[in-house]
Structure 1
Amino acid sequence: MDKIERLHSVTQFNSKRGQVTLHPLVSVLDQSKSSPIKPYRCLSEIYIIFLKDLRCEDFQYGRNTYDYQEETLLFISPGQVFGFDSPEEKLVQPVGWALVFHPDLIKGTSLGKKISEYKFFDYDVAEALHVSESERLIVLDCFRKIREEMERGIDKHSKTLIISNIELFLNYCVRFYDRQFITREPVNKDILTKFESLLKEYFQSELPQDNGIPTVAWCADKLNLSSNYFGDLVKRETGISALEVLQAKVIDLAKEKIFDRSKSISEIAYEMGYKYPQHFTRLFKQRVGMSPQEYRFAN
């Protein structure tokens, strides 16, 4: 299925599922009441959060044994492609719940200013949030409050209360993801070990001279993770950013090379992947407290 539709409005999302639109900029749907839909893929221009059982046919999440087995939250932000393919073109019954809202709903609000801080909107499908039964009930309570506000009709308080409940829901999701990172601690530590090995192998090869210093995005891709998820994982496990971990590794490896006095500091910088040696010297001094040349003669 090559064609990708553009999903530009809440009304379009509701209509495809045969449900009415109570508010033009936000909707909460009980998907069991939706009409069956044909398989399709969409480029979304709105925010979508699905709460659904993994036994549904439309998305594959790759749940692991350390995750809760109840239901899963999947977050989609404007600019992302989502959907599913079916070779038989058969109709599929949507399941679970969906919260959708247009970016215009939160423009100029506190949520609009901080929406980018909810990095899980940019996680991959395999990094979705698996919720416990108690967490699921909290999610549904937030959805219920949003739905009740829409059913009251639009007044001067509607927008504030709807946005407040969306923000409350997203803040709960931050808590739930923190819990999931904890329950995934064994596999997270394995990822950090692989990260360490990846960097070691990279700097033992000719890649630095050809490609320069590896980026966090490159490392995440090699570990089959999204950049945001990888960054959050490293931060939670180490207390520092993935970039800082990467820079620390660069400095540790550079310290070993600096003791080889047959090479100039510039030669070492080029070997490490720096196009401009002064950038290497600046980073080294920031992290070590002295220049590479001073470090060489102080040890």
Structure 2
Amino acid sequence: MLAAYAVAADAENPLNALEVGEIDPPSTPDGWVPVRMKAGSINHHDVFSLKGVGLPADRLPMILGCDGVGIAPDGTECVLHTVIASPGFTGDDETLDPKRSLLSEIYPGTLAEVVHVPQENLIPKPAGLTTTHAAVLSTSWLTAYRMLFTNARVSKGDTVLVQGAGGGVATAAVQLGSAAGLKMWVTSRDEAKARRALELGADQVFASGERLPGRVDAVIETVGAATWSHSIKSLRPGGTVVIAGATSGDAPDKAELTRIFFLQMRIQGSTMGTRQELKEMLDFLVEHNVEPAIDSVRPLAEAKDAFAKMIDGDVFGKLVVTMD
């Protein structure tokens, strides 16, 4: 079957570690069901995998992809929940399972013509969502939803700062927060991305590191070291920084510990989301008529071009690949 998969680890040139071509279907656990994929999208997680982060050599080749929508054996079009709990886990929040994984880490991912998943990880796609929009929701959008509505502790009318305007989590947070009645402020180094953030519902856009006109109730932080001090300095006393990534590195020049404890700020880690949160988000998108920002759409055979665009950083919204 046709798939996009990692064949090596190359931290300097991750595109060299990617193959797009025919591959024998890998083995998956007994009882998992086949899904004929219609579309998926690319995340930074896939690029990290190509660099060897979290994907050791003994798991190669590995089909990439953490997002997707496809047809279940009964003919239902479903959004895939790609957080896989470990065998025997009994909690109701699979993101807290220390041995959880995402598709493409231990088990084959979604950038293929067919993928196998547990039956309970298939969420019927609402009729109000297009296949293209549904294909981008399982990772960055679910991450943004959990960051805002589970972990940020904000209410309608509160102000939220989103660091970085173009990434998948950032654009999702802007669209979700705006639809929920939050005041969304965004930082960006790129004027074109800043304008697009305003089009998506951001109330104001500021230059990276710019002093804000007021303190915010929460910060959505996925950039890491480059924006950490600005995030802390922008937060009101008692506010919350929700961090779900560190694309610029995880070692800021200054940790801001004195400011954090003196002003009683809350630092909340956040990773992906639960099946229930995915279901809630699908309903939210339909109810509020939210259409996820799409950068571009390509067939799976041209996935390498989409990966190149992600690696170059020339992205606003999601990069979609189709299997039909």
TM-score past 0.5 threshold:
no
**Structure-1-length-normalised TM-score:** 0.23
More helix by share: 1
Structure 1 or 2, whichever has the larger Rg, is 1
More strand by share: 2
**Structure-2-length-normalised TM-score:** 0.22
* Bigger RCO (CA 8 Å, 6+ sep): 2
